[in-house]
């Protein structure tokens, strides 16, 4: 099990660092080109179909040029960026998942143990975070970090890929059960939009926590790999 597995010498494995930065660039480009695509039809629906205001559950605001790629409205150019980086994003995530399972990063650092799910532990972790103390918890990451990272890596990112496949008619024809799973193409489009903003919220929180927990060291370690300090409490 995890305790007997050989620990890597570095705080972040090379595969984790490579994926982290490829993923960061891909997500920024996908998000900003996605906002441009959203401007193409600024309404969201549930179910299979929808095109008119009376069917919509949300009128989406127009996203300004500074928030989109390219910085003027062009559905075709935005789709070029989106389609290209969807491949970079999808395949790099797949490669990272395989690597993280093989080097046991996933099992050791991302999956929470049963005892970490105790409400008392979660509560203690919330209190520690509110005190701006981030050097606590069992193993590399504390329970709130494990929840955040696993929801992003195992839920939100795969959700972006699968709802994206539903929206592409060729992909949907190959994997038609996905459409039913998400309750129709327009539902998948709505979920794609919601999950994108979920990732944006994670991005903001992630940057904020890096800034308050030693940004230079955090950045350096995610580039060079850093050193593992101590045995168990290695988060510092």
Contacts with another protein by CB under 8 A lie at 29, 37-38, 40-41, 43, 45, 48-52, 66, 69-71, 74-77, 79-81, 83-84, 86-87, 167-176, 179, 185-186, 189
As measured in angstroms, the least distance from the Cβ of 152 to another protein is 23
> Rounded to whole angstroms, how far apart are CA atoms 200 and 187?
20
Nearer to another protein, 14 or 175 (CB): 175
As measured in angstroms, the least distance from the Cβ of 41 to another protein is 4
As measured in angstroms, the least distance from the Cβ of 201 to another protein is 19
Nearer to another protein, 72 or 132 (CB): 72
Nearer to another protein, 79 or 104 (CB): 79
Nearer to another protein, 174 or 223 (CB): 174
Under 8 Å between Cβ of 223 and 17: yes
Under 8 Å between Cβ of 43 and 79: no
Q: Which among 96, 103, 93 has a CA at the least distance from the CA of 27?
A: 93
> Rounded to whole angstroms, how far apart are CA atoms 20 and 149?
12
Nearer to another protein, 126 or 174 (CB): 174
As measured in angstroms, the least distance from the Cβ of 56 to another protein is 10
> Rounded to whole angstroms, how far apart are CA atoms 87 and 133?
38
Query: Which residues sit opposite 58 in a β-bridge?
Result: 44
Prior bond to 70 cis, omega within 30? yes
Under 8 Å between Cβ of 167 and 185: yes
As measured in angstroms, the least distance from the Cβ of 98 to another protein is 18
Under 8 Å between Cβ of 172 and 166: yes
């Amino acid at each position: 099990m995890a305790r007997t597995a050989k620990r890597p010498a570095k705080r972040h494995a090379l595969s984790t660092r490579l994926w982290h930065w490829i993923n960061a660039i891909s997500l920024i480009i996908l998000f900003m080109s996605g906002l441009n695509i959203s401007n193409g039809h600024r309404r969201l629906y549930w179910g299979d179909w929808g095109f008119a205001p009376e069917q919509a559950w949300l009128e989406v605001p127009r996203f300004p040029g500074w928030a989109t790629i390219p910085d003027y409205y062009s559905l075709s150019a935005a789709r070029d960026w989106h389609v290209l980086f969807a491949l970079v994003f999808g395949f790099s995530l797949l490669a990272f998942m395989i690597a993280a399972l093989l080097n046991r990063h996933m099992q050791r650092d991302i999956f929470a143990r049963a005892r970490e799910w105790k409400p008392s532990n979660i509560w203690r972790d919330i209190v520690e975070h509110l005190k701006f103390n981030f050097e606590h918890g069992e193993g590399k990451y504390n329970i709130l970090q494990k929840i955040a990272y696993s929801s992003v890596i195992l839920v939100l990112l795969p959700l972006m890929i699968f709802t994206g496949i539903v929206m592409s008619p060729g992909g949907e024809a190959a994997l038609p059960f996905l459409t039913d799973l998400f309750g129709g193409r327009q539902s998948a489009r709505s979920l794609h939009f919601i999950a994108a903003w979920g990732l944006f919220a994670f991005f903001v929180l992630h940057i904020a926590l890096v800034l308050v927990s030693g940004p230079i060291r955090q950045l350096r370690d995610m580039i060079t790999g850093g050193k593992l300090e101590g045995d168990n409490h290695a988060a510092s």
